[in-house]
Amino acid sequence: MRLAGRNSQADVLVVGGGPAGLAAAIALRTRGFSVTVADPGQPPIDKACGEGLLPGSLEALRRLGVLLPPEHTFPFRGIRFLYRGDSVDASFPNGTGVGIRRTHLHQALINRAEAVGVTLRWGSMAKGLSETGVVLDGAAIDCRWVVGADGENSSVRQWAGLTHTRSQSVRYGFRRHYRIAPWSDCVEVYWGEQSQMYVTPIGHDEVGVALLSRDSHHRLDQALPRHPELAARLKHAPASTTERGAVSVTRRLAQVQLGRALLVGDASGSVDAITGEGLRLGFEQASALADALVNEDPGRYAAAHRRSARRPALMSALMLSLDHSAWLRRVVLTALSSEPRIFALGLRILTG
């Protein structure tokens, strides 16, 4: 392992302190690198998402040594699809998932990063790359590697010249929490016309409700009446948070590494939130990145990144095809309701 020279202030500088960036910092620090994370925000940072961690995500967190406080999680056994009065569900074949507020997840990652000795610079803005590192808050920070973990609209991706995209599609997500006891031991996905609504249990008296749609103007209050069963359950449940929005992008990049710059998480490409696999990918990319840099072989990370993205990309394409076609959605979801074993097989493939 080649560590930074004497004029360097870190072996690795991670731009972006979200879950993927913190996971990368933890993985690198535990492999012996000195790591600094820079983010313009102040923690814990919230983001609109479904807030359900599937078993693969939990296993990746365990490998990183990240502990989720039990009082901030709520277990669920599987996934349930609902469509026009029909429903089908299946349990995960490899354990349970948990619902957790995004802010609690972020804080757990921060706690682990601090414990292993990562330097965290909150409120710090990266302005560009230099010949020897990163320009941070107007000062040059020397480093051996720069990791871009700064999300869908990554600046590092642009600065490093890694913007060539092989495919891309965009949808919009909105999320709100409701004060009501979870009524299901599954994450529920309500299928509608050109949109889906997700319900994730995140506490003994709270659920998160998320909407995914291609229409940036479509909101939760407009979508709920189109799902009468869900609307009836939430009719008397007070909202515990305001509506928060985000963009869900399916993007595949031609490259995720060039020179000293490497990309992780949504900065490195992403799958639609319909799969629930975005966080797992980021956590596993973090470990693959650390393995590659320990061996001074960034190309090894690029190869691992391609392999890890194949299955989620396939599942994303299959599920988005149901979003595109009303006829296909009706045929497939009706068939799954009558043949639950097929749905269970699909869930097994999705979760690896």
Q: Identify the CATH number of the domain in which residue 291 sits.
A: 3.50.50.60
- Is residue 3 in some structural domain? no
Number of compact structural domains in the chain = 1
CA atoms of 193 and 329, how far apart (whole Å)? 9
| Residue 318 resides in a domain | yes
pLDDT at position 4 is: 39
Task: Give me the domain span that covers residue 273.
Answer: 10-350
Predicted confidence at residue 3, as pLDDT, reads: 39
Specify the pLDDT at position 302.
Answer: 94
Would you say the pTM of this structure is higher than 0.75?
yes
13, 12, 43, 40: which is closest to 112 by C-alpha?
A: 43
Decide if 310 contacts 277 (C-beta within 8 A). Answer: no
Residue 162 resides in a domain: yes
Residue 5 located in a structural domain: no
Say what the pLDDT of residue 185 is.
96
Decide: 159 and 129 in contact? Cβ < 8 Å: yes
Is residue 284 assigned to a domain? yes
- Amino acid found at 48: A
Residue type (1 letter), 60: A
Alpha-carbon gap, residue 241 to 296, rounded angstroms: 45
The closest of 117, 116, 118, 106 to 38, measured between CA atoms, is 118
Q: CA-to-CA distance for 155 and 15, rounded, in angstroms?
A: 9
Give whole-number Cα distances, 138 to 5, 121, 130, 186, in Å: 22, 14, 11, 48
In a domain? residue 233: yes
- What the block records as the tokens of 189 is 């996905």
Task: Divide the 352 residues of the chain into consecutive groups of 10 and give the mean pLDDT of each group.
Answer: 49 97 98 97 88 94 96 96 92 94 96 98 95 90 96 94 84 95 96 91 96 91 94 96 89 92 94 83 96 95 91 83 88 90 86 72
Query: Does any domain span residue 203?
Result: yes
pLDDT for residue 322: 86
- Decide if 2 is inside a domain: no
